[in-house]
Structure 1
């Protein structure tokens, strides 16, 4: 906080006597010189590489940094300020808050003796704090009156005379009240960024620990390899070189991956740190009117940080040196030794290798073993063995399973198709999205705002506020699973009966209705304002009937933001659909006797336009964090009731 800010373009230090600082949309500083000098009117912020067209963007003076520069100057460079009262060139020793002037010793004495300024608040440099720099701003139109009101309709500060004039019919409140609300919202932005920074710090530490572990593993394996080959040097010189090269190559790839992850996370961390630091400065230096003006910019940059957060998990394989076959080394010299990862389950691998085996690998191994058994059983068909025929049928069913997306075994070691969970790779059908109410943004998320452009094309939904998947759910004979994460921002309290979002499945003929809940052949979860409870509730629908009503899903509070994370399990073999609250880690409802005689289409809807902002992200395939606890919860829901 004691470092003077610099211009993000020319990198010159911003000083009290230098050019006035301006605020870029990314919350970084730009000096007054660079504002008027860019070629073509476009500048690039060197801190975050964001380009700004100054001919299209109106920049405001950075009042926060102006006060920061003033405070740092009187704190650390006390000989720099000169008396501004008579411009006599004398060194200033104090500051008059009301006159906003530096005073030398002579002018200070005169200032205190004159009746008009005798009671002014004069501060010595050593006593000045950010709170003592606060000074009410007068209206630019009615210069004698302070800006102590805020016009919500015009989104601007006004005085009492403005209130009687052209702002008479507008919704007006006291500036302190408006600033209090803005302060609370900006404080929440600061808390959100602090939480994100904490997670990023943990993620960075984890990456660095993995890097250290990789280095230690490399050192350990190098010693093991060298010790092994020293005893067989006359036979293994050439092979040793090949393996060391292989080890170096694999380690280099691992380090490159970790370095790329670390660099990406550090860049995002630095960006968030800058914005978080500026928020702290706002509370030190910004006046109430400046806080009100800054809210939209701070909220926008905070949302960008939160929405572009880097993934907090990484998957880096660890190398191991396999020395099985040492007793046959002399006879098997050409094939001895290899560098593998712990995830590879090669023949004769260590027990640690097998413990890290993934579900996909395990299923592949099962299928390979079953293919061998199948070949043996096929040869016994002529014996008319009933057991053999039943086993052949079971194995053929398993081997014929399509593994598009991601596969997990709900019960390890059970080669049963009904215990294979398929995380399907659903996609939004962009060609059917109802562009009159929703659109799919550049990040691939479904947003409850109409599209700016409406490309021509037949087949778009006309009533449903959302879209469907690109294809119906397959009749896989095993549970299928997908998730959706929705960010809901309530700009104001949700009115009576308004719907926020809907997820579920329905028949093809029910896809283009206002909402699928309560329709034949439809099964859905709806989040909406409930007339019965007066709050926002979750309602589970099975065809015509609302089978479950859960009140108080989230508080109906203006200015609040919430994240809803739900999962859906569809099991055509058991005729069940399960809705899961991923954040609370619990099953919300299980619907039985699902009619799957016709193909069922996943439906995803976002509502309340205009009003709350709803952004729905599909979480599918390998992006799903499938924990053992989640598996157990799914097994229990499908096995019971």
Structure 2
């Protein structure tokens, strides 16, 4: 019957007396026959296509599915059950929960008459439901001793003799205690997966095409009505637009269908895990629950970390009828199917408005343009002031360089061996300006490293979460004072630089010195800090930039996969690399983290460096630099510890020969 579970390899139904089911890490089951006959010691689950190497993975019997098969047999195939009390071949009619025996009618009567067994619970097949066995499991070493203790050091169930002999110095708790803890963990996994499934369900519904169909119908009527007054001239254009509409609608539906298919597959995967957890609660004993935690926990974390974001804007469109009054003179290009993101008011015909409406709209537009212009002027004035300061500094440096070069040229006439000294002095001045030659024997723009003068943008700091203290450090505490001013970040937990990175055609470099102290151990996926770059419009989309499509960043974060604090790299919204053990995850832990960032728009590369360990953390190639990129700085976890970030730029950076060699290697 279809209600019986099947082997994920041979697709044969499990039976009560057939090959035992074994549990795969994906929570699907495989029969004992397939396990013992696996070619090359490798099994590939046909349900989810996940491979398992039996050499590295020890499979355990699936006690939950064994109980499920038992109850399904009682419910659907009771005629196959024979009395196990006397092995007389009689048809069984009930089950003794205390003895775990099938009984025929004769044995049932005898069972009820014996003094020793008359109080046992006998269940008729028609009344049986899922039950958990109270009979303990016995130790494989000491056969007659029940397993009622859990060794937290060895992570295994033990008996009383094991406790005395081999586990005397270990931390041991009762099975009931650890089973209750794991039950709560499984319940947490169930809730997390249920929430994910609900989001997937909602996302699947949003991916339906009914809104697209409705928009299609409305636009079709609008197009037809508009062209009635101009039919003689617009017949051909109308046909072209309708074809364009059908094409865009077809493409939109195809895109939605592809996303819907992906979401359905993830939903089915989540459903399978939830179904198995439900069966755990129905059939699993406490010892089974303890042994299942690693399977269910690992799978739940994998699903939560790899699940696609359930955010989607259903594409719609509007029909552009702007400039209808001048349509006859521009009939050859009239009309277009535009995406919904276009302001709907901007595509309406002015002729459909009253004169008062038109003047009000025009006045509002001019006010908005004026506000935007004032903002741009203020920003330009700020940039001009910065450029003037930089120009003055460069002029001073140029005059100083000229003076020193002239002095050296005079000296050179009397001693030719002073040429090397001139070079050393000139390069020394360059270092004072934050400019370094990566290879002394190669003098070209690609080998010039600029330690650029970045600054925190104090006017954009998100004061709801962070602030800049009197020493100029970015700290993970909200501001006690809230100065007035618009334009602050509202979602990102940090700030950006005052200006985007220039397209210098050579490598640019900056560093951050981060002081981190933990008040208590981190759990989950707590973010500690982030450094990276993104486009202007992506600076305040989320509390971090890691998942933005045109961003690159390095985060220090508590990692559930490695169980510690790691350095995690993202590129253009995709997870790239995770390096473990940045600092200990213990209460009172304190550490200074020193990171450098190299951005090379010519080579289209970004490199993240651990300055203290003097090694490259991650290299990102083919970085999209078609639009200006803004440096971003984030600090997090205010309730769990203290984080402060100091920006090191320009001549403040100690550029050693070893560091230059490391940068050259990363860029090559």
Q: Give the shorter-chain TM-score range.
A: 0.5 to 0.7
1:501/1:260 CA distance change after superposition, 3 Å: farther
- The within-5 A match list for 1:438-587 is 469=531, 483-484=543-544, 486=557, 495-499=586-590, 512=612, 537-539=640-642, 541=644
Is the Cα contact below 8 Å between 2:133 and 2:285 reproduced in 1?
Answer: no
- Is 1:320 the counterpart of 2:302 in the alignment? no
Which ranges in structure 2 are unaligned for 5 or more consecutive residues? 351-364, 388-458, 461-484, 502-507, 514-523, 545-554, 565-583, 598-607, 615-632, 654-668
- Is 1:159 the counterpart of 2:159 in the alignment? yes
Q: Give 1:22 deviation, angstroms.
A: 1.1
Is the Cα contact below 8 Å between 2:595 and 2:611 reproduced in 1?
Answer: no
Residue 226 of structure 1 aligns to a residue whose secondary structure is helix
**In 2, Cα distance between equivalents of 1:391 and 1:115:** 97
**Over residues 502-527 of structure 1, what are the superposed CA-to-partner deviations in whole Å (9 max), with x where a residue is unaligned?**
89999x9996399xxxxxxxx99575
**In 1, Cα distance between equivalents of 2:593 and 2:332:** 62
**2:353 counterpart residue number:** none
**Over residues 376-404 of structure 1, what are the superposed CA-to-partner deviations in whole Å (9 max), with x where a residue is unaligned?**
xxxxxxxxxxxxxx899659979x9xxxx
Please give the TM-score of this superposition, normalised by the length of structure 1: 0.60
**2:410 counterpart residue number:** none
1:72/1:600 CA distance change after superposition, 3 Å: farther
**In 1, Cα distance between equivalents of 2:267 and 2:44:** 20
1:189/1:503 CA distance change after superposition, 3 Å: farther
Q: Give 1:44 deviation, angstroms.
A: 2.5
**Over residues 229-249 of structure 1, what are the superposed CA-to-partner deviations in whole Å (9 max), with x where a residue is unaligned?**
455444333222211111112
- Is 1:287 the counterpart of 2:378 in the alignment? no
**1:46 counterpart residue number:** 46
- The within-5 A match list for 1:228-243 is 228-243=226-241
Please give the TM-score of this superposition, normalised by the length of structure 2: 0.57
**2:87 counterpart residue number:** 87
**In 2, Cα distance between equivalents of 1:204 and 1:487:** 31
Aligned residues: 458
- Is 1:273 the counterpart of 2:271 in the alignment? yes
**1:74 counterpart residue number:** 74
Q: Give 1:253 deviation, angstroms.
A: 2.2
**In 1, Cα distance between equivalents of 2:383 and 2:640:** 46
Is the Cα contact below 8 Å between 1:194 and 1:276 reproduced in 2?
Answer: yes
- Is 1:221 the counterpart of 2:219 in the alignment? yes
Q: Give 1:154 deviation, angstroms.
A: 1.8
**Over residues 164-220 of structure 1, what are the superposed CA-to-partner deviations in whole Å (9 max), with x where a residue is unaligned?**
222222222211111111112111111221222222223223333xx2111100011
Residue 186 of structure 2 aligns to a residue whose secondary structure is helix
**2:294 counterpart residue number:** 296
Q: Give 1:295 deviation, angstroms.
A: 0.7
**In 2, Cα distance between equivalents of 1:510 and 1:500:** 13
**1:9 counterpart residue number:** 9
Residue 278 of structure 2 aligns to a residue whose secondary structure is helix
Q: Give 1:118 deviation, angstroms.
A: 4.6
Residue 150 of structure 2 aligns to a residue whose secondary structure is strand
**In 2, Cα distance between equivalents of 1:226 and 1:242:** 13
**2:56 counterpart residue number:** 56
Largest Rg, 1 or 2: 2
**In 2, Cα distance between equivalents of 1:481 and 1:599:** 33
- The within-5 A match list for 1:282-361 is 282-344=280-342, 349-350=347-348
Q: Give 1:304 deviation, angstroms.
A: 0.7
**Over residues 314-345 of structure 1, what are the superposed CA-to-partner deviations in whole Å (9 max), with x where a residue is unaligned?**
23432111133444444433212211113235
**In 2, Cα distance between equivalents of 1:62 and 1:501:** 48
**In 2, Cα distance between equivalents of 1:168 and 1:48:** 43
Residue 87 of structure 1 aligns to a residue whose secondary structure is coil
Is the Cα contact below 8 Å between 1:433 and 1:467 reproduced in 2?
Answer: no
Residue 30 of structure 1 aligns to a residue whose secondary structure is strand
**Over residues 263-313 of structure 1, what are the superposed CA-to-partner deviations in whole Å (9 max), with x where a residue is unaligned?**
222222221121122112111111111111111111100101111122122
Is the Cα contact below 8 Å between 1:95 and 1:125 reproduced in 2?
Answer: yes
1:111/1:392 CA distance change after superposition, 3 Å: closer
Residue 30 of structure 2 aligns to a residue whose secondary structure is strand
1:499/1:216 CA distance change after superposition, 3 Å: farther
Which ranges in structure 1 are unaligned for 5 or more consecutive residues? 353-361, 375-389, 401-408, 411-416, 435-444, 449-465, 515-522, 529-535, 544-594, 602-641
Residue 341 of structure 2 aligns to a residue whose secondary structure is coil
**In 2, Cα distance between equivalents of 1:509 and 1:86:** 75
Residue 131 of structure 1 aligns to a residue whose secondary structure is coil
**In 1, Cα distance between equivalents of 2:586 and 2:6:** 47
1:537/1:140 CA distance change after superposition, 3 Å: closer
**Over residues 461-481 of structure 1, what are the superposed CA-to-partner deviations in whole Å (9 max), with x where a residue is unaligned?**
xxxxx998578x99x9xx999
For structure 1, which segment, 224-233 or 68-77, has the greater mean C-alpha deviation from structure 2 after superposition?
A: 224-233
**Over residues 63-116 of structure 1, what are the superposed CA-to-partner deviations in whole Å (9 max), with x where a residue is unaligned?**
001111111221233223122334333221011234322121123233444565
Residue 243 of structure 1 aligns to a residue whose secondary structure is helix
Is the Cα contact below 8 Å between 1:502 and 1:525 reproduced in 2?
Answer: no
1:175/1:235 CA distance change after superposition, 3 Å: same
